């Protein structure tokens, strides 16, 4: 019996230490964003029209360096009512934009999705059921600089009354150092910026308190008006994304 108890204690200790090490590995540097105007890099068909934009439309302010660790996911909670005033009933996301910064030409394997939020017992908005995903794209960035990467996505009609998330999945990258994430000037909001690098979901603002995490992730999307909204049915990335559920 004593041997069993010691075995249980040892396994529990290993799990705690493993989680602590994984968390400790996610450190970062931050610096004000370069004033150079970022370059649009859209993989969507040219000439696409949209009725509104959702997500974080605030100006870029901070570059978060040495933090990305593929494979992993980032998510931003958004309220479509805050910016998509042109659509009275529903909206349909057509392209998701992600602001990243690189030090050289490199390749990123990435994809995006849109999700409906769920609420934990405290009322915090957390990652929820997936509405649609883009699949994976190879993004070949030709030089150093700031990039507004646009990924096309085929989404259902979503009710304008539903808070959602824009999600970035990073499978791999040849960038060295890894690309910088970009945030706005803040203030940073709890229950809004999420990250999972294989050890569970972390609220970045709660994980790095006191203003250490400076603002909201610079993710946003182009959308068209639609009606009526389609009920959400959970979809998946497939095997690669199952690692993060």
- Could you tell me if residue 146 is inside a domain? yes
| Range with the poorest average pLDDT among 78-87, 106-115, 161-170, 224-233 | 224-233
pLDDT of residue 233: 58
pLDDT tier for residue 243 given thresholds of 50, 70 and 90: very low
3-class SS of residue 18? helix
Distance of CA 223 to the CA centre of its chain: 17
Q: For residue 7, is it within any domain?
A: no
Domain range spanning residue 145?
29-242
Q: Residues 200-241: pLDDT tens digits?
A: 999 999 999 999 999 999 999 999 999 988 776 554 444 334
Q: For residue range 178-193, list pLDDT tens digits in order.
A: 999 999 999 999 999 9
95 domain-assigned: yes
- Helices and strands (DSSP H and E) totals, the chain: 3, 18
Number of domains into which the chain is organized: 1
Residue 75 in domain: yes
pTM of the model: 0.85
> At residue 4, does pLDDT exceed 90?
no
pLDDT at 2: 42
Taking residues 16-35, what's their average pLDDT? 64
Mean pLDDT, range 24-36, rounded to an integer: 80
Residue 85 to residue 167: CA distance in whole angstroms: 22
- Note the pLDDT of residue 130: 97
pLDDT value of residue 37: 86
pLDDT at 10 over 90: no
Which own/partner pairs from 32-37 qualify as long-range (CB within 8 Å, at least 24 positions apart)? 32/61, 32/62, 32/63, 33/60, 33/61, 33/62, 33/63, 33/101, 33/146, 33/182, 34/63, 34/101, 34/146, 36/145, 36/146, 37/146
Q: Is residue 5 part of a domain?
A: no
28 CB-side CA count, 13 A: 22
Question: Does 8 map to a domain?
Answer: no
In-domain check, residue 100? yes
* 161-182 mean pLDDT: 97
Q: What is the pLDDT of residue 46?
A: 78
Model confidence at 19: pLDDT above 90: no
**39-70 confidence digits (pLDDT tens):** 999 999 877 789 999 999 999 999 999 999 99
Q: What is the tens place of the pLDDT at every residue in 92-146?
A: 999 999 999 999 999 999 999 999 999 999 999 999 999 999 999 999 999 999 9
pLDDT at 7: 42
pLDDT of 15 > 90? The answer is: no
Dihedral angle of Cα 33, 124, 119, 214, to the nearest 10 degrees: 10
For residue 94, being part of any structural domain is answered with yes
């Amino acid at each position: 019996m004593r041997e069993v108890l010691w075995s249980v204690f040892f396994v529990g200790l290993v799990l705690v230490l493993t989680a602590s090490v994984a968390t400790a590995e996610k450190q970062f540097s931050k610096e004000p964003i370069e004033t150079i105007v970022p370059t649009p890099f859209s993989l969507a068909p040219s000439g696409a029209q949209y009725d509104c934009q959702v997500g974080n439309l605030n100006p870029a302010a901070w570059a978060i360096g040495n933090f990305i660790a593929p494979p992993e996911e980032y998510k931003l909670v958004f309220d479509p009512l805050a910016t998509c005033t042109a659509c009275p009933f529903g909206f349909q996301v057509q392209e998701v934009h992600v602001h990243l910064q690189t030090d050289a030409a490199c390749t990123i394997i990435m994809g995006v999705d849109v999700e409906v939020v769920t609420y934990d017992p405290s009322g915090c908005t957390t990652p929820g059921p997936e509405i649609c995903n883009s699949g994976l794209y190879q993004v070949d960035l030709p030089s150093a600089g700031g990039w507004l990467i646009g990924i096309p996505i085929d989404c259902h009609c979503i009710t304008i009354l539903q808070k959602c998330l824009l999600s970035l999945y990073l499978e791999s990258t040849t960038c060295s150092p890894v690309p910088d994430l970009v945030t706005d000037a803040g203030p940073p909001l709890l229950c809004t910026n999420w990250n999972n690098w294989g050890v569970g979901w972390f609220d970045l603002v709660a994980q790095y308190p006191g203003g250490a995490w400076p603002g909201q992730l610079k993710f946003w999307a182009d959308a068209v008006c639609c009606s009526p909204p389609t009920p959400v049915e959970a979809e998946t990335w497939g095997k690669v994304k199952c690692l993060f559920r």
